[in-house]
Amino acid sequence: MRYTHLFFDLDNTLWDFNANSYDALYLALKKLDLLDKIGSFESYFPIYHEVNERLWDLYRDNKITKNVLRGLRFEESLELNHTPIPGIGDILNEVYLTEMPKQLRLVPGAIKVLDYLHHKYKMAIITNGFKEVQVEKLFQTGLTKYFDKVFISEEVGAQKPHSKIFEHAVKSMNAPKKKSLMIGDSWDADIVGGQLFGMDQVYYCPNPDKLPLTEDLRSANFPKTTTTIINHLEQLLEML
């Protein structure tokens, strides 16, 4: 076989982060009796999502800390929603993170693909998420049984796309780099990270509008690797 080891991202590659985040935040606001105060949740959530993505980019670049990110995303998004609630950031974050692992929606095809692959390959997770949440997500959804190890950026001390987390994962799994494959939905974290490290990658991109421009696919300075683009997880079965 061309590959012996498969490394999966978790959020929006297997666990449907977008859908589950929507539900978890709605439940958190409801539990804190804040739904009426924010007006339309459907209008607020896209604001929160954009703020959260921007702050996560800063967190990945080590420009803000985990503790700052967790509360600030709610404070800033509520300000932009014109419904500021002083002092609510950390409280809302705590309830939101409690609700997150309880949401069980997976990306279409995830179980079918994992059922097939885990008998044929050694498999692991490489994720940038928070340890306490990511581990619980895997447990609650029953995904834990498919993976030999879980590598979380917080524990490793480096986030994707930094090569350190890929190197740590490969060495811990005794995986030959050239027989390892990174599978993820984030171009900047999963694909560029795999390219920088010298590992082949699969870019799971269900939305064709998010495909990178051809000239952006790989820097000339990166090691030579193969990048495959799929728009449904079950396409992995065709190549593996």
Domain limit, last residue, from 75, 102, 129? 102
Question: Are 79 and 175 part of one and the same domain?
Answer: no
Yes or no: say if 15 and 106 are a contact pair by the CB < 8 Å rule.
yes
Question: Are 79 and 178 part of one and the same domain?
Answer: no
Torsion angle (degrees, nearest 10) of CA 229, 195, 132, 176: 100
Question: Are 165 and 175 part of one and the same domain?
Answer: yes
What is the structure's pLDDT at 220? 59
Structural domain that includes position 23: 17-102
What is the structure's pLDDT at 94? 96
Question: Are 87 and 139 part of one and the same domain?
Answer: no
The one catalytic residue among 9, 16, 185, 200: 9
Question: Are 165 and 197 part of one and the same domain?
Answer: yes
Query: 33 - beta bridge partners?
Result: none
Domain at 54, CATH number: 1.10.150.240
Specify the number of domains making up the chain.
2
Domain limit, last residue, from 102, 119, 141? 102
CA 51 centroid distance within chain = 16
Least confident piece of the model among 44-48, 57-61, 151-155: 57-61
Question: Are 77 and 162 part of one and the same domain?
Answer: no
Mean pLDDT of 96-116: 97
Question: In which band, very low, low, confident or very high, does the pLDDT at 61 lie, cut at 50, 70 and 90?
Answer: confident
Of 179, 194, 173, nearest to 13 by C-alpha is 194
Domain at 153, CATH number: 3.40.50.1000
Domain limit, last residue, from 84, 102, 120? 102
Q: Is 11 a catalytic residue?
A: yes
Mean pLDDT of 39-62: 94
The one catalytic residue among 11, 16, 190, 200: 11
Question: Are 169 and 69 part of one and the same domain?
Answer: no
Predicted confidence (pLDDT) at residue 211 exceeds the cutoff of 90: no
User: What tens digit of pLDDT does each residue of 8-17 get?
Assistant: 999 999 999 9
Mean pLDDT of 202-215: 77
Structure tokens at 222: 């990166």
Mean pLDDT of 114-119: 96
What is the structure's pLDDT at 125? 98
What is the structure's pLDDT at 54? 95
Predicted confidence (pLDDT) at residue 64 exceeds the cutoff of 90: yes
